Amino acid sequence: MAHGSRKAVFTAIVTNSIVTVIKFTASVLSGSAAMTNEAVHSLMDTLNQAFLLIGLKEADRPADAHYAFGHGQKKYLWNLWSAIGLFSIGCGLGLSHAWHSWRDLGHSPAEEATQLFHIEVSPLTVNLVVLGIAFLLEGYSFVIAIRAFLGAMRDDNFKSPFNYLFRAKDPTLVAVVLEDGVAMLGLLFAAFGVGLTALTGNEIWDVLFSALIAVMLGVIAFYLGRTNMRYLADMRDANAEQVFADVAEAHAEVERYHDLRSIILDESYTILVGEVELKEEAIIPGLDSALKEAREKILAEVEPRWRDTAQARSYAESYAAVTVTLSRAESIIDELEAEIRRRSPQVTHITLEVEGISAAAPARMERSWSTALPPDVVG
């Protein structure tokens, strides 16, 4: 998923850099407010995607003395900066330019044809040609991004792209898809603006679509900012917690669990913390042979003259009980962790504590004894 995000971001940076240059050139030649806002839009997309790329590189840095779980969350911080820039600069400058263009309606001189390579070209032709070139470049970038997005959607077992847009684990990829999608829509708005202005002779169309482009940037920026804020605010991994609940409830030796918590570091790393209580009737009967083996092993290491003393046997009994019980508890925790990681690979850090062994109810205790004791004793 990270590889797909990186490719989509790098492609978007290259294409938007080229588009920014040709749009600014067209806006100077034609004087179109919509084209100017489109140029600002592409410039902000380029800068924002550079922020996304920096975030991806920062997130790849390994854990160190200051960041025990790595630098994964820095990606969301850079994504947030990208969203803020898209809103404050892209949307703000766009609305400001649209406002000034509206105030200057009827007062600005009409744009004349431009000489390019000794050929007279009208402002409308310049704008439409540039928009066509931009549409091809932006379209290529959008195809790369949407392929990565759909691949991630299939990996996460989603069927609806729209639903996945709001639940995707990788906000960087979502940001590229949205920015490229909005860029395509912005090109259509700009084409409508310059086209209707040329057809009707009324510049209000150019200003109107210019303002729509700026507002659209603001809406996308708000959504991206909200999405990344969720990850920066220690969001819980509901799927991982549900997997833990299912695994604990299905385990024969777990009585109950509680104090279950999780934190998403990024789309590939989740920390899970919880406490479990073990079933007495499921653990105690199976420990007899292990206790005996451990006790005999401890006594075998004692000098023969002390081996049969009450002190040695008492010590061996106590030590064996502690080590065997702890060993069994550890093996249960290992079983739980292995199954959780199998079902939720993104859970990389698990802290499970055994709070205690839950006493069996009388009826269950009787059933436990009846299966653990020899038949002659039970009868």
15: its two tokens: 């294409």
Q: What is the pLDDT of residue 370?
A: 42
Please state the domain extents for the chain: 2-232, 238-378
Mean pLDDT of successive 10-residue segments in the chain (379 residues)? Answer: 72 88 82 74 82 85 77 81 76 79 64 50 74 88 89 86 80 83 83 83 82 84 81 79 91 87 82 86 68 78 77 80 79 89 88 71 42 41
Q: How far apart, in Å, are the Cα atoms of 153 and each of 25, 99, 166?
A: 38, 40, 11
Residue 238 burial by CB count (10 A; 0-12/13-18/19+): exposed, middle or buried? Answer: exposed
DSSP tag of 269: E
Q: What is the pLDDT of residue 356?
A: 66
Q: What is the pLDDT of residue 299?
A: 77
**Beta-carbon contacts of residue 329 (< 8 Å; ≥ 6 apart):** 278, 354
Strand intervals (E) in the chain: 114-116, 119-121, 254-266, 269-279, 347-358
d(CA 129, CA 121): 11
Beta carbons of 34 and 128 less than 8 angstroms apart:
no
Strand intervals (E) in 1-149: 114-116, 119-121
**248-254-256-258 Cα dihedral, nearest 10 degrees:** -60
d(CA 207, CA 31): 11
Superfamily of the domain at 2-232: Cation efflux protein transmembrane domain (1.20.1510.10)
d(CA 126, CA 132): 10
Beta carbons of 139 and 12 less than 8 angstroms apart:
no
At CA 54, angle to CA 53 and CA 57, rounded to 5? 90
**C-alpha 286, offset from chain centre:** 44
Q: Three-class SS of residue 303?
A: coil
Phi, psi angles (nearest 5°) of residue 196: -65, -35
CATH topology of domain 238-378: Alpha-Beta Plaits (3.30.70)
* pTM summary value: 0.64
Beta carbons of 30 and 21 less than 8 angstroms apart:
no
DSSP tag of 71: S
Q: What is the pLDDT of residue 279?
A: 78
Q: What is the pLDDT of residue 371?
A: 41
Beta carbons of 177 and 205 less than 8 angstroms apart:
no
